[in-house]
């Protein structure tokens, strides 16, 4: 037996070695899903399948990278030749090659969410519709749903049910907005994220004899990760590749119906539940051994999910021992909930020596993070909130990317509008509106209308200079790699010169972000990985822009961290932590009030809670508040029904949680109540653990606060070395703003009369 096969249990090995025909792998949480998927690909290669004949589709670039890294350990460099990537990135690669067959140039732009919203807002205003009624977010969601269900603008207009829904919501013109949006995207040579799927299906559907056959011959084996998260359109594309006359149907899908939590994005659980109806000769393997969590956590998850009727039956089990029971934390208010969670985190850090990066606080909505941030800061516990503004969404980053996008695609309307008068060059809003109107009137692109628009002499001169600059950037891109072009554009567009004039902390931060972007381009260019056996690495600007357009927030998450993680449960899927706190377990919050209208909605909320508790390896705490502030008023809440669906024997508390529900310890020994205040050998009640000093206290010699002046270098016991940026306030209450080196949140404001600072110069 090959060595890598010996690492697998019997069911995993069977799933890896049964390579021919349709295969469904039901992978429970922590069951070794990634190992099975990667070893299956490695086994195919070891059995003689060419790596470039294997297509593996994932949902994040990070998953694809990890997959290739694991395959490489078994088969070496051949792993780089496997087509492994997200649905969007793989389809974008194919669309670049075949773009002309659907009326696009190979250099098409990929619109992000902001681009789409901006274009929709423009269309809504042009149609003289109320932007409050036709909010861009809502319209975009409606169009996205239509595309995900393969509904074209024409089909939408003819669908009586959709039109009735729009009429009921007082938005009867969505079908017209949809038609104009598609027209404008095509005209701009742009695709949004939904188009990368929609246009891929269109490409295959309209070209069955050449394009479809080409890729059917190329991809002999198709594998899909997280299959429960696919939508109707993704599954339709998959079937184009594998469902045809005399097809061997070499498809393997891996997933878990109990972790299907993305219905709001269009994912349908029916894809995995009904997979056997589509593929009659299906072999099904259930990975039921959980290698992640202890027995109390696993059994609690089993009991919870048993309440969903529509599911593939399975019994998850663990041999990691009984482990700690689950803590239940009751608080009077959400504020108290934040404090008690921070208390328990301190206890775990001191008693069990758990590291910050082994702890996660998971919540149903991102707005819940605030109160936990307050207490983690108060207790001096480093943390990071995921789900905030992505690096690539920051204004200065998007500004430079706008220039780069326009360099490779002059038809990109959103990029043009973003940078045409930025930095300011005398092309006002009135002139830009004229250009946009002329484009709509003549059917030309905005770029083509630049030299045609009627404008002042000053504006015409500015437009001509702008056009010359962009054309020079394009010429540079023809013979230079992405980094050389990006440096050239950053300098000659005027962006860096403008930012360097702003020496405020915010201005310096913007320069740092632009430099970080340029560093990223350099890293992209210097990466010598061969993506495909047929092509050398593509270091062009077009390739770079596609690469970063397909990034997700989770792809940029640091691997080595020393902070407590705060994130929504949706963001936590696929992750694991030694200690997990699932908070806000109240009716109408978790489960969400929006799920109460249907059984399907409630079932998805239960699956979401299932995902939350199965992130925990050893320690799991569930918390709720009896009262929570909403819109400035304290609202009384009931504990979540989900708590009552887990047997009391798994809970480490005798706390009654309301109604007829009583959560007991399940044992005769006396239990310590978390809600009565945390006990143990550590600081309590809002105090923090002993500080760690950045310098040796024995050699530290503080100076008189009256001597501290702006511009001085100073030393602080805890924060180390820094420079005083400014001093303000009355004589008796002077406050110094100090920029320290090498710490998180380096800017600190310190009251001098209480501070101990040693002056270094």
Contact 108, 78 (CB under 8 A): no
Q: Is 259 a catalytic residue?
A: yes
Among residues 98, 194, 225, 347, the one annotated as catalytic is 225
CB atoms within 10 A of CB 457: 7
Among residues 98, 195, 226, 586, the one annotated as catalytic is 226
- Distance of alpha carbon 740 from alpha carbon 720, whole angstroms: 7
Among residues 13, 33, 339, 606, the one annotated as catalytic is 33
The count of residues in the chain is: 761
Among residues 2, 17, 19, 34, the one annotated as catalytic is 34
CB atoms within 10 A of CB 364: 23
Among residues 62, 93, 292, 615, the one annotated as catalytic is 615
- Distance of alpha carbon 539 from alpha carbon 522, whole angstroms: 10
Tokens of 709: 């002046």
Among residues 228, 259, 289, 546, the one annotated as catalytic is 259
List Cα–Cα distances, 302 to 29, 367, 666, in angstroms: 11, 29, 18
- Distance of alpha carbon 664 from alpha carbon 650, whole angstroms: 8
Strand partners, 592: 588, 589
Contact 546, 96 (CB under 8 A): yes
Say which residues have a Cβ less than 8 Å from residue 168's Cβ, sequence separation at least 6.
Answer: none
Tokens of 93: 């690669």
- The CA-based angle 259-263-268, given to 5 degrees, is 80
Q: Is 226 a catalytic residue?
A: yes
CA 189 to chain centre: 26
Tokens of 677: 């205040």
Torsion over CA: 102, 224, 236, 155 (sign)? negative
Q: Is 225 a catalytic residue?
A: yes
List Cα–Cα distances, 687 to 669, 672, 684, in angstroms: 31, 21, 6
Contact 603, 308 (CB under 8 A): yes
- Distance of alpha carbon 82 from alpha carbon 61, whole angstroms: 14
Which residues are marked as active site?
33-34, 225-226, 259, 615
């Amino acid at each position: 037996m090959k060595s890598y096969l010996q690492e697998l249990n019997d069911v995993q090995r069977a799933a890896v070695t049964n390579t021919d025909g349709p295969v469904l792998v039901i992978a429970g949480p922590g069951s070794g899903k990634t190992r099975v998927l990667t070893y299956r690909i490695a086994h195919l290669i070891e059995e003689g399948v060419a790596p470039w004949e294997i297509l593996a589709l994932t949902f994040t670039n990070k998953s694809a990278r990890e997959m290739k890294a694991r395959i490489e350990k078994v088969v070496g460099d051949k792993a780089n030749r496997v087509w492994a990537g997200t649905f969007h990135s793989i389809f974008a690669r194919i669309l670049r090659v075949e773009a002309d067959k659907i009326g696009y140039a190979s250099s098409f732009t990929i619109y992000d969410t902001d681009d789409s919203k901006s274009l929709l807002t423009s269309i809504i205003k042009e149609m003289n519709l109320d932007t409050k009624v036709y909010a861009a977010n809502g319209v975009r969601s409606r169009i996205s749903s239509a595309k995900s269900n393969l509904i074209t603008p024409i089909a939408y207009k003819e669908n009586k049910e959709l039109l009735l829904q729009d009429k009921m919501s007082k938005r009867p013109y969505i079908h017209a907005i949809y038609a104009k949006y598609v027209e404008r995207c095509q005209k701009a040579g742009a695709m949004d994220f939904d188009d990368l799927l929609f246009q891929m299906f269109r490409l295959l559907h309209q070209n069955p004899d050449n394009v479809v056959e080409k890729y059917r011959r190329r991809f002999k084996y198709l594998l899909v990760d997280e299959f429960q998260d696919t939508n109707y359109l993704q599954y339709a594309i998959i079937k184009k590749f594998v469902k045809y006359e005399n097809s061997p149907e070499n498809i393997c899908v891996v997933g878990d119906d109990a972790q299907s939590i993305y219905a709001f994005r269009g994912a349908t659980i029916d894809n995995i539940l009904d997979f056997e109806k589509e593929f009659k000769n299906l072999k099904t393997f259930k990975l039921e051994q959980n290698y992640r969590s202890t027995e109390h956590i696993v059994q609690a998850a089993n009991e919870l999910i048993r309440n969903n009727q529509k599911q593939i039956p399975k019994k998850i089990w663990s041999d990691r021992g009984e482990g700690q029971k689950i803590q239940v934390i009751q608080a009077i208010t959400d504020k108290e909930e934040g404090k008690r969670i921070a208390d328990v985190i301190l206890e775990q850090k001191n008693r069990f020596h758990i590291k910050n990066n082994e702890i996660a606080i998971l919540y149903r909505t991102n707005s819940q993070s605030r109160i936990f941030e307050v207490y983690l800061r108060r207790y001096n516990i480093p943390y990071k909130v995921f789900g905030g503004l992505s690096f690539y969404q920051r204004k200065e980053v998007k500004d430079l990317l706008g220039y780069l996008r326009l360099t490779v695609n002059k038809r990109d309307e959103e990029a043009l509008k973003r940078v045409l008068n930025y930095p300011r060059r005398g092309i006002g809003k009135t002139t830009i509106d004229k250009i946009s109107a002329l484009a709509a009137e003549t059917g030309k692109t905005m770029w083509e209308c630049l030299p045609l628009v009627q404008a002042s002499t000053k504006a015409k001169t500015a437009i001509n200079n702008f056009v010359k600059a962009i054309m020079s950037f394009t010429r540079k891109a023809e013979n230079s790699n992405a980094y050389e072009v990006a440096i050239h554009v950053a300098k000659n567009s005027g962006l860096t010169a403008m930012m360097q004039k702003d020496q405020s902390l915010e201005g310096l931060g913007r320069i740092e972000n632009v430099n970080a972007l340029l560093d990223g381009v350099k890293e992209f260019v210097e990466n010598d990985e061969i993506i495909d056996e047929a092509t050398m690495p593509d270091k062009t600007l077009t390739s770079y822009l596609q690469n970063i357009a397909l990034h997700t927030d989770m792809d940029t998450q640091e691997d080595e961290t020393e902070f407590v993680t705060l994130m929504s449960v949706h963001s936590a899927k696929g992750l694991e932590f030694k200690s997990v706190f699932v908070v806000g377990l109240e009716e109408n919050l978790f489960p969400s009030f929006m799920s109460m209208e249907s059984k399907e909605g409630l079932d998805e909320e239960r699956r979401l809670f299932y995902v939350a508790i199965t992130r925990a390896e050893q320690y799991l705490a569930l918390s709720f508040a009896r009262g929570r502030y909403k819109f400035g008023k304290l609202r009384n809440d009931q504990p979540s029904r989900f708590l009552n669906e887990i047997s009391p024997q798994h809970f480490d508390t005798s706390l009654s949680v309301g109604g007829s529900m009583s959560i007991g310890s399940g044992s005769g020994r006396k239990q310590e109540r978390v809600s009565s205040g945390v006990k143990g050998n550590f600081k309590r009640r809002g105090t923090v653990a002993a500080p760690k000093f950045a310098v040796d206290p024995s050699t530290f010699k503080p100076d008189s606060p009256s001597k501290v002046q702006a511009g001085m270098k100073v030393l602080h016991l805890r924060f180390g070395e820094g420079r005083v940026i400014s001093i303000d306030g009355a004589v008796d209450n002077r406050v110094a703003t100090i920029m320290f080196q090498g710490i998180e949140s380096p800017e600190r404001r310190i009251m001098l009369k209480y501070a101990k600072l040693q002056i270094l110069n």
